[in-house]
Amino acid sequence: MARTDWKFDFGVGEAEAGRVKATADCRYTAERGYGFAGDGTVTARDRGETGRPWRDLIIPAEATFRADLPDGNYTVTLGMGDWILPAWTTVKADPGRLLLLRRRVPIGQFARETIGVCVRGGKLELTFSGPAPRINWLDIAAAPDAITLHLVGDSTVADQPTDGYPYAGWGQMLPCLLKHDVIVANHSASGRSSRSFVGEGRWDEALRQIKPGDYVFVQFGHNDQKTDEARHTDPDTTYVQFLGKYIEDALDKGARPILVTSVQRRYFEEDGSLRDTHGLYPEAVRKLAEERGIPLIDLAEKSGRLLEELGPEASRSLFMHGAPGEFANFAGGIEDNTHFQELGALRIAQLVAEGIREAGLWPLSMYLR
């Protein structure tokens, strides 16, 4: 049976009792089942005095640590700190799911952070970065009973691949806003509508993972507007019919469905007001939520207000707007008024968290950071 728990001691010297030592040159191998993978730089340091707790550590600069695990939910607990320097550490789980953002630990102090992660593909890959990353130890434990927040939606929600950085969906940023008691499982996929997500079997796959007490956030609409038969829905008929299917199927599993209106695109009128590009789709969601008594997060309204507050120029920083050479993965430049870079995806995720509080989603709201 594959191992579902690990306790690592990072740095130099002998491992602490009950832990596996992972030094700076511990490269991943399939036989070992753990180790550093990729091209990042890892440096180890020993801060000195015998008997001093957490005296050794690693400095992982854009470095990825991999541990092989069966698919499922896990908690990851990290020890972070340095006796002689402040630490600033960001942690992401592949592919770019933000777990901790620039966690600061003052000189001579140490922090213990527990985060929740959904593992797929038989491996957990944690990438460490930040102005001054420090990791002392790391524990991984299975969390089969944790509440799962399932996301089904399109590209504005989905986990985007690391080779598209800084392109990100808001679901990719949401984990850093939640305590480890809730684990985000992002099933969303680019280019999908409420119809095609079902037609491709993606909803059936998500349903197999949903258990009683879980939450299911549903955001479609961007691609329901497309005219091809595989994706198009009519806001008055087929759109609400498919949304109704997500609601009924989630309720049948004992889960709690939440409807989310589509996040706004960045298109402005000459007077600076936001142009409506979604037509009747958001109102159809609002009406369905009211009729069925389903909680609603009106992200169309929230994101529209945000974009109008920022205005045409400042709002560029939220979207995939990059000059030639600005984004390494888009060397020729890009102007995209639909999809977010990380900064924008994080800002939208914060609006979703705000909506969770406003909707009184208990106990989910209790687990917001």
Catalytic positions: 155, 335, 339
Please state, in angstroms and rounded to a whole number, the distance separating the CA atoms of residues 234 and 123: 40
Q: How far apart are the first and last CA of the chain?
A: 35
Q: CA–CA distance from 341 to each of 165, 172, 217, 327 (Å)?
A: 8, 11, 21, 10
Please state, in angstroms and rounded to a whole number, the distance separating the CA atoms of residues 109 and 45: 16
Residue written as tokens 């900064």?
343
Starting at the edge strand found earlier in the chain, the sheet holding 72-81 runs: 20-22, 6-10, 137-142, 72-81, 110-119
Q: Cβ(253)–Cβ(211) under 8 Å?
A: yes
Tell me whether residue 110 is exposed, middle or buried, using C-beta atoms within 10 angstroms of its C-beta: 0 to 12, 13 to 18, 19 or more.
middle
